[in-house]
Structure 1
Amino acid sequence: MAKKQKRRLFGIQGRLLSLVFVLFLVPWLGYTYVNEVTELISDTQESALLLNAQAIATVLHGKEELFSEHSDELRALKSGKSGYTAPTLENDITLDGTFDDWGEEIELSSTLYTGITPLFCDLKSDVTSLYFRQTLGIRNDRLFVAFDVQDDLVVLRDMDLKAVNNSDQLRFTVRSFNGDIRRYLLVTQKPGSMSVYLMEEDWETLVTGKHERDIQAYMKIDQGGYKVELRAPRSYASASSQIGFSIVDVDETEGREIRTVMTTAPGDATEQLSGVIQKSPGIAKILNSLEQPWSSIWVVDKNELVRAHKGVLQHSNWSESGSDAFKWNNLRTWPLLSSLIFELEELIVGDKTGFFEDYPQATEERREPIIARVINNKTPETKRRQSVDAKAEVVMAVHPVWSRNKVIGAVIIEQSSSAMLANIQKPLQTTSLIILAVILFIAFALLIFAYRLTMRIGKLRDATEKAITPEGRMRRQKLQFTSNANDEIGDLTRSFSEMLKRQSEYTHYLEAMPDTLAHEIKNPINVINSSLENLEKEIPVVKQSRYQERARNGLQRLGSIMTRFTEAANIEGALNDELRERFNLTHVVSSFADGFRMVHADNQFIINIPNKEIWIDGSADHIGQLLDKLGDNALDFGDPGTAVTIQLDYDEEDAIIQIWNQGPVLPIEIEGRLFEPMVSYRQTDARESHLGLGLYIVRLIAEFHYGRVEAVNRYSPDGVEIRVIIPMSLSRTLTHPRRPRLTMLPDDDPDSNKRQRYL
């Protein structure tokens, strides 16, 4: 069988696969397009923010009193004193303990107290059992305070006990402008409205024992603790007043001993009370009338101190209404694919729906180079910056505020790029999902097509190789499989089958040619031969003519040629029809050696045959024919007067027939072709023709017995050894005998039988 070619690294499958890779240029082009659109949107966003900042600055132009340096709030900021930050609330507050009406302020303006540095905490305190958040806000003429307390055990007031401070409680302290201090204790015996009492300094003695009506509070118990909403007069949060809060924790229902007291007063541990800072109410009122969704508006004075602030950079519903919801909907259908699309989308445009941290509501000053430049250069600017936690990009526009030809402050409008890019996120995901699905489908279809195409071509190749023997003889008149496909490969398959059919017919004609020639030439040869005999009878002197002798030799050569042709042509058919039988190879070789020695009595022979019987499967007659061919070759090529050795040997698996002579070695020119038909290196002899078919017949007989034949050059003395190796068991049949190849053994080989071997 012809040797199969190595698989090409860039065959049909590789080329189609490269085409698939080209398809992935489409997402890359989409990625480039998205980047350009993102850049355009960001530029548009900067321009829009700058226009909005200009509009707000226009409203503030000339209102120098709003930026007065003599306001109580500004004096507090300049003095560096800490205080509670109380933004203006947008909604009316209902005391119900739910915090639903606080809006975004409940998250953005809250302060977490964990008790790590409490102002008062006794030795038995377990600070890990109590922590809370506090949020302040101002609405109209009221101060509102929200507490979200996490307490492992909530203990309410026991009305059977006389003391009012034996349960979980809230302490509220107020210092008025004249220095008077009022202490309020807030407790309750059940969830709902809380009782408010005016207390002495020791927090144990009631001043009046009456409920205070100026302060109202509501408690709601939930999982893990409780919530309290408090409402007090706005005057308690004026610039001339100071306030302070403390959460008191009682964890025992029997002894009711106070376990933890945690204050919320900001600043140093020695400062119990602090003021409430509300920036500039006038500016805050103007900002509250504006609607700028997903934007943060800051107003600073010329000293870069924050005078008012409104809005947030991110909306709490983004993750629900944006692409997270889209992702969740698609996860139910294509979990892995949708997750992959979401990750790719984040890689392209970033996480546009995740939360990030930026300047808190309580920020008191904004000292940034861009703000200083706007105030000093009196020209508006825009900038893109990273958020405080570097998780998002923030676009900011700064515009100066004028009064009497001088800058008195600046308006800052900031917006996360997410606010704009979130609008294209869902279409981008949908488009990406569709493109990826189409590309994957095309890639899968192309790979299936390439696989089927290569399989069909490979099947056609294998069938074509099996239709012809390695020697070029036809095995089949058509391919083993047929194809009805209406494409080029189908046409090629049918063309190959038709070509094999025609080639088979022509090969059959050539194989029958020797018998036809023998039959056709036999009669003319007989006529010529009889004519020569009759001529010798009529003219006896013709017998002495050298022309008569040359005519006899020509007829003899012509007969020999026809005999050899017919023998080679008929041997394959005879072998195909031959029935195998098990026979004693030792007996066949021994009989041949005895007969051959008798026929060629003038030659010397060395016979080495073991006494053991060697049995093989095959045809004894054809083995005899093989030995006859090898014996004739050994005599023809051997030096006169030298011996021919005939030897039979065996090993555990094979029987080995060896016949060698002494004479010229095999030339390298016939390497790989010695056992092919029509190959001979004999000297030309006018009396006898040699067509090079003898060793070819030997090879056919050896392969019929699932064996192989080798030619070996021997040295000291020179000669040629022909070796036939036949397996003794059919379980080791050699379905593909190795073709001969000449290899050289070194001359200094210690083995006495130095040789060149055809393997």
Structure 2
Amino acid sequence: MRLRRQLLLVSLVTLAMPWAGCQYLRQVDEALADGQVQALEATASAVAARLASAPQLILPDPERQHRPPGAQLYLNPLPQAPLVDGYGDEWRQWSLAPQQLVDADGQPMARATLGLSGERIYLLLTVSDDTPSHHDPRTGLRASGDAVEIQTGGRHYTLPVASQGPTVALWHNRQRGGVDRELRLRGRWTSSANGYQLELSLPHVLTDGEMAITVLDRRHSNGGTPSRLASTLPGDGIPGRLVQPLRALQTELEHFDRQGLRLAVVDSEGYLLASSGTIQTQRPAGAEQSWLQSWAYRKLLNRGDLPALPDDGLPVFQANLRVPSIHWFRAPRDGRIAAASVPVITRADAIVERPLLGRVIALQSGDSVLALTESAAHRLWLLSATAAGAAALLLLGYASWLSWRVRRLHRAATNAIDGSGRLRGDFPRARLGDELGDLNRAFADLLAELDRYHHYLRTLASKLSHELRTPLAVVRSSLDNLSMAELPADSRRYAERAQEGSARLSGILNSLSAASDLEASIRHAERESFDLADLLQALLQCYGDAHPTQQFLLDCPDAPLPCHGAPELLAQLMDKLVDNAVSFAPAGSEIRVHARCQGDTYWIQVENEGPLLPEGFDRKLFDSLVSVRGDGDRGGHLGLGLYIARLIAEFHGGRLTAANRKDNKGAVFTLLLPNGLTGNGQTAASPGSG
């Protein structure tokens, strides 16, 4: 993987900053929410303590404390008197919570909603009945079919169910000993798809503060035993009390009013006794947000899905819970509302188990805390995104700069040495003191040492040739004088062998000097235009005369091959290649020379039969003093021929390659020579350049 990509992956660690910020915001949000609910609980506890010290405010009716739960009926304050027509349209607008009436099996049978407007009580009763049975007057009974019974403090009214029309309220007059009709109870019946509905109105004074509702369901209109029954009348037969908001408690509760805070007091059964204040659910100015922001903040702060408040705006708490309780609810526009419930328990010391009088419920919107947290989250996102982006750009820029330095060092190291092993100019040295700078300077020192050693190797031949000539001349002159003297036969044979060895050593020194002189002369060779095809044909004729035991074949196009260079140097190059081929080719074998033009390059190949090239020597053959001939060769070959051929090829901007033939029966040497050389050799490469 590239260094830039590695650092780019490392830069992903900067994403930990927004994550850590989000975790911190969650903690801050939880801490602010805990602080809010603790303050809310403290407010509710203060109100509960005040009511516990004055229990008559929350329970002005002492008889109420001993009544069984579920027997009481709640009188909702009505904004206006509804029209008693049996349809109950006004009741649906007020969204009042009804009281369920269940049968003996616990199945809901009816819903009753009571309200108070002025001095009259209003009742909306909805009964579920698949087989309604209406009253049959012929039976002479008060109610032969389905009926609704209403019991007050002193009377028991029976209302026979009719399909449509006004209600008839009958009660037993003990003084007269007969059944009378109560005209102060006015109402109407209506039928529905699921049963029937009753809308009723009666004076409050008629109830004496007590009321019970009973629904009787008969299969037939014969006055038989009801098949189902649902009633609020307790087992002792005494109607439950009518519960309604308390004005004195309302006045007391208003002393604790605070902006954005709603306080409510409910009795032990959850009926609302007093309420003051409103919840401020409107977000602060400038805190409005889109649904996308709401979704993002909800996910960021991990708020989860909160339950919604009931329609009346008061949460339902466990009735007999004697410890404070705290809950969160969902507000409009993804807000949230905190609710704290504190029980009101009397402080009467004489009572072993202090009775639970009711509960104080405090509600407050959390929009101010949410707006503060979301504003902090918005700033955190901006700062985190800016910091992460700047860090990523900085790391990317640093990675690019570091990668550029590595690539620059790689290019310099790759191009530092040419094909002949010479250093191309000065290796660049870094000025920075980091690890890459140290590596750069180490490369420069290493290449400088290699260049000095290579220069020593290049000048070794001329130094040896110069230093050995004088002692070799002394040896040869001594051998010449010795050969002129009278020597025994054995001694003369040894003297001749010594002269032969000195002659070979002199030839080696001459070859070393010639190679050194040729390398210097190549740099000053003059160029001219000539036909490469004519040069090859003339050379092949000379090779045939010089080596009659070999067969030379030329594969060359008939068209001219124009070339610009030094023909005498190219002839010497061909001499070296052909001499190498002749030395390895068997007697009588063919030596083929191919010449062709491909694009802007001449391909000249010398192909011979014979042994294959050793593995790994295809490039080393053209180095100085490298030979693959056997140890028994006595021809005095020093491995300079192909080295000289490579120098000539590089002088003309070409290159030499060596490979085995495809049929593995010999070797083939290829000269790649540019055919676009013009002018003064502007593209020619001097020896030592690549």
TM class by shorter-chain length?
0.5 to 0.7
Q: Check if 1:57 corresponds to 2:48.
A: yes
**Aligned residue number for residue 467 of structure 1:** 416
**Aligned residue number for residue 665 of structure 1:** 612
**Aligned residue number for residue 19 of structure 2:** 28
Residues 643-688 of structure 1 deviation map (CA, whole Å, 9 limit, x = unaligned): 3333434455543323223333334363554444443221223632
**Aligned residue number for residue 387 of structure 1:** 330
SS across alignment from 1:318 = coil
Q: Check if 1:520 corresponds to 2:467.
A: yes
**Aligned residue number for residue 190 of structure 2:** none
SS across alignment from 1:545 = helix
1:290 and 1:482, CA in 2 relative to 1: closer, same or farther beyond 3 A? same
C-alpha separation between the residues in 1 aligned to 2:75 and 2:526?
116
Contact map agreement 2:608 2:667 (CA 8 A) in 1: yes
Q: In the alignment, which of 614, 627, 638 is matched to residue 691 of structure 1? A: 638
Residues 537-590 of structure 1 deviation map (CA, whole Å, 9 limit, x = unaligned): 234767983423432343243234334444555555544544544321111111
CA positional deviation for 1:632: 0.9
Q: In the alignment, which of 635, 639, 648 is matched to residue 595 of structure 2? A: 648
**Aligned residue number for residue 400 of structure 1:** 343
Q: Check if 1:458 corresponds to 2:407.
A: yes
**Aligned residue number for residue 397 of structure 2:** 448
- Give the counterpart letter for 2:364 in structure 1: Q
CA positional deviation for 1:521: 1.9
Q: In the alignment, which of 301, 309, 317 is matched to residue 349 of structure 1? A: 301
**Aligned residue number for residue 248 of structure 2:** 282
Q: Which moved more, 1:461-470 or 1:646-655?
A: 646-655
Contact map agreement 1:296 1:313 (CA 8 A) in 2: yes
Q: How does 1:203-602 map to 2 (within 5 A)?
A: 279-316=245-282, 318-320=284-286, 347-349=299-301, 359=309, 363=312, 366=315, 368=316, 371-372=317-318, 375-377=319-321, 379-387=322-330, 391-402=334-345, 405-420=354-369, 422-423=371-372, 426=375, 437-438=386-387, 440-476=389-425, 478-479=426-427, 481=428, 483-485=430-432, 493=440, 497=444, 500=447, 503-539=450-486, 545-569=492-516, 573-602=520-549
**Aligned residue number for residue 630 of structure 1:** 577
Fraction of identical pairs, as percent? 27
Contact map agreement 1:655 1:727 (CA 8 A) in 2: yes
Gaps of 5+ in 1: 1-7, 87-116, 121-133, 136-174, 180-239, 241-267, 329-339, 737-759
Residues 346-405 of structure 1 deviation map (CA, whole Å, 9 limit, x = unaligned): 6533799xxx99547x71864x3xx12xx314x123233341669344432211224574
1:547 and 1:506, CA in 2 relative to 1: closer, same or farther beyond 3 A? same
**Aligned residue number for residue 639 of structure 1:** 586
CA positional deviation for 1:637: 0.6
1:84 and 1:660, CA in 2 relative to 1: closer, same or farther beyond 3 A? same
1:390 and 1:401, CA in 2 relative to 1: closer, same or farther beyond 3 A? farther
- Give the counterpart letter for 1:376 in structure 2: N
1:119 and 1:410, CA in 2 relative to 1: closer, same or farther beyond 3 A? closer
Q: In the alignment, which of 562, 580, 595 is matched to residue 615 of structure 1? A: 562
C-alpha separation between the residues in 2 aligned to 1:295 and 1:269?
39
1:27 and 1:285, CA in 2 relative to 1: closer, same or farther beyond 3 A? same
TM-score, structure 2 normalization: 0.63
SS across alignment from 2:256 = coil
SS across alignment from 2:586 = coil
Larger radius of gyration: 2
Gaps of 5+ in 2: 65-69, 82-86, 95-116, 122-183, 185-195, 204-242, 349-353, 686-690
Contact map agreement 2:51 2:57 (CA 8 A) in 1: no
SS across alignment from 1:597 = helix
- Give the counterpart letter for 1:720 in structure 2: A
1:430 and 1:365, CA in 2 relative to 1: closer, same or farther beyond 3 A? closer
C-alpha separation between the residues in 2 aligned to 1:46 and 1:720?
95
CA positional deviation for 1:41: 3.8
Contact map agreement 1:358 1:389 (CA 8 A) in 2: no
1:654 and 1:347, CA in 2 relative to 1: closer, same or farther beyond 3 A? same
C-alpha separation between the residues in 1 aligned to 2:655 and 2:639?
18
Contact map agreement 1:553 1:687 (CA 8 A) in 2: no
Contact map agreement 1:306 1:363 (CA 8 A) in 2: no
- Give the counterpart letter for 1:461 in structure 2: H
- Give the counterpart letter for 2:330 in structure 1: S
Residues 93-118 of structure 1 deviation map (CA, whole Å, 9 limit, x = unaligned): xxxxxxxxxxxxxxxxxxxxxxxx99
CA positional deviation for 1:474: 1.5
CA positional deviation for 1:427: 5.5
**Aligned residue number for residue 252 of structure 1:** none
SS across alignment from 1:522 = helix
CA positional deviation for 1:81: 8.0
1:681 and 1:499, CA in 2 relative to 1: closer, same or farther beyond 3 A? closer
Residues 76-133 of structure 1 deviation map (CA, whole Å, 9 limit, x = unaligned): x9579894499xxxxxxxxxxxxxxxxxxxxxxxxxxxxxx9999xxxxxxxxxxxxx
**Aligned residue number for residue 158 of structure 1:** none
1:66 and 1:721, CA in 2 relative to 1: closer, same or farther beyond 3 A? closer
1:85 and 1:27, CA in 2 relative to 1: closer, same or farther beyond 3 A? farther
C-alpha separation between the residues in 1 aligned to 2:356 and 2:508?
123
CA positional deviation for 1:486: 6.1
CA positional deviation for 1:489: 5.0
1:655 and 1:291, CA in 2 relative to 1: closer, same or farther beyond 3 A? same
CA positional deviation for 1:468: 1.7
- Give the counterpart letter for 1:407 in structure 2: L
1:385 and 1:699, CA in 2 relative to 1: closer, same or farther beyond 3 A? same
- Give the counterpart letter for 1:645 in structure 2: R
Contact map agreement 1:679 1:692 (CA 8 A) in 2: yes
The number of residues matched between the two structures is 532
C-alpha separation between the residues in 1 aligned to 2:530 and 2:509?
32
1:292 and 1:65, CA in 2 relative to 1: closer, same or farther beyond 3 A? closer
C-alpha separation between the residues in 1 aligned to 2:387 and 2:120?
78
1:700 and 1:50, CA in 2 relative to 1: closer, same or farther beyond 3 A? same
C-alpha separation between the residues in 1 aligned to 2:30 and 2:540?
99
- Give the counterpart letter for 1:349 in structure 2: L
1:497 and 1:65, CA in 2 relative to 1: closer, same or farther beyond 3 A? closer
CA positional deviation for 1:598: 1.7
